Amino acid sequence: AVSEEFSEMDESIIMRMLRSVAVPIIGNACHVFMHGFNHIR
């Protein structure tokens, strides 16, 4: 039970970290992609 609770808590923390890191990266990637795409056209 202890190991299961620890694994669940660890996964939630990892997911929060991935989300907090992925959101700005995806936003910047979309901005750069759209800007570059418009610049090419």
Domain ranges of the chain: 1-41
CA pair distance 27, 33, nearest whole angstrom: 10
Cα dihedral: 27, 30, 11, 13 (round 10): -10
User: pTM for the complete prediction?
Assistant: 0.48
The reported pLDDT for the residue numbered 9 is 75
How far is Cα 20 from Cα 2, in angstroms, rounded to an integer?
27
**In tens digits, what is the pLDDT along the chain, a chain of 41 residues?**
566 776 677 788 989 999 999 999 999 999 998 988 777 66
Q: Which two tokens stand for residue 26?
A: 């995806």
pLDDT at 37: 79
